[in-house]
Amino acid sequence: MMVDSQLTSLDPNGTKCFYFTCLYAAGIVNEYGPKNASTASCILGLPLSASATTDKSSNHLSRNMIIGLSGALVGVLLAVGVIILYRKRRKKDTQQALHEEYVSSFRASVLPNTGAKWFHVSELERATNRFCQRNLIGQGAHGVVYRGALADGTLVAVKQLLDLDSEGDEDFCNEVEIISKIRHRNLLSLRGCCVTSDNLEGKRRFLVYDFMSNGSLGDQLYEQSRKQLMTWPQRKSIILDVAKGLAYLHYGIKPAIYHRDIKANNILLDSEMKARVADFGLAKQSNEGESHLTTRVAGTHGYLAPEYALYGQLTEKSDVYSFGVVILEIMSGRKVLDTSNSAVLLITDWAWMLAKSGKVEEIFDEGIRKEGPKPVMERFVLVGMLCAHVMVAFRPTIDVALKMLEGDIEIPRLPDRPLPLSHESFRSSLHWSF
């Protein structure tokens, strides 16, 4: 009513509609809006109710609080995210540093002392088609072997070691150091090695050898899929090749090296069926020819010399025993352990019983019984039995055994040996005791 009377006094002719329009427009256009207390009082000349002011202030405060809390929450989340990302990055960097240190320590401790080539893992992946299953040519307790082709076309065998403990590291370094120092036509040469470590694959160790197209002696003797009937000349040549390789290890270098794992699967054959002794992971250098005890007995059951398997006493005669077992395998085509019966029978016990019964010819593999000269074949069997004698003192050294095989030295009469546990006399006495 007060605004109406004021407008009427200003325009007695009744044109107050015009002023209402101006005042309304002024209130709306004002940047603070018509509900602002200053606008209502100054422009419209009206007091704004207390409730409207309170509601406006309350809404504004609530909005500010929500915005503040939201900002604080976002800030906390961002801070937590940054901390998590930092810790992950720091952990990754630490792990990467450990991986790099692992590889560097290997290179520093092994390569300066050897002539081995350092392969990058990418080279081996290309050579083996990323370790394709089709290129898998062998697998054992400690590693797998792949066939590969290097960039220049050279065929190689890439062995990946599977045991990643400290003993596996020791065996790896041991093999690289030892085999890189020796060069002999009857020992498998090492082309190089590779050690890699990363966050995805972890630690991996590789050895690269010349490729042997005819696989191992064990393949030729026992695997039906690859089995070939080896001729007497081939068997004779393989035995002599292994003897010459061992003679070089024992007497051709100083200090002497004991292989400790001579067996059929560690004797590889090239395209011409020439034998090379391989796998020097367990090899040990002698201490100026002296025998010594070791708490870590290594090797394969059936090939281990009794004094080494039972007491840990390692000498050059330990390798000679294993070599004698290999001779009997080659001459008979029979496995080291016969598990066809309830009692396990060692090939040495089996051959000894036949020889003492005057049936040496029954030891010969059927494929060569009518092929070779029987006196020479019998000589090889007797040398094998002498080398694999249970008594250390009765075994010849490897150089003497080689001369016996070649006919340069006469073979002495086989000395008696303790009866095997599978002998019938033990069974009868055991039955009587009950």
CA 390 to centroid of chain Cα atoms: 35
- Whose tokens are 């090239």? That residue is 270
- Return the number of other C-beta atoms located less than 10 Å from residue 427's C-beta: 12
Give the integer Cα–Cα distance in Å for 312 and 246. Answer: 20
Distance CA 329, CA 316 (A): 21
Instruction: Write out the E strands in 222-368.
Output: 257-258, 267-269, 275-277, 284-285, 292-293, 313-314, 337-338, 345-346
DSSP string, 391-407: SGGGSPPHHHHHHHHTT
CA-CA distance, 111 to 395, in Å (whole number)?
Answer: 38
Q: Which of 405, 401, 301 lies closest to 347, judged by CA? A: 301
Q: What is 58-122 written as a DSSP string?
A: HHHHHHHHHHHHHHHHHHHHHHHHHHHHHHHHHHHHHHHHHHHHHHHHHHHHHGGGS--EE--HH
Residue 261 bears catalytic tag:
yes
Q: What CA–CA distance (Å, rounded) separates 398 from 326?
A: 13
Element (H, E) at 146: strand 143-149
Handedness of CA 326, 327, 329, 333 (dihedral sign): positive
Residues 6+ apart with CB under 8 A from 55: none
Residue 380 · residue 362 · CB < 8 Å: no
Annotated active-site residue in 219, 241, 261, 279: 261
Amino acid at 49: S
Q: How far apart are CA 366 and CA 333, in angstroms?
A: 9
Catalytic annotation, residues? 261
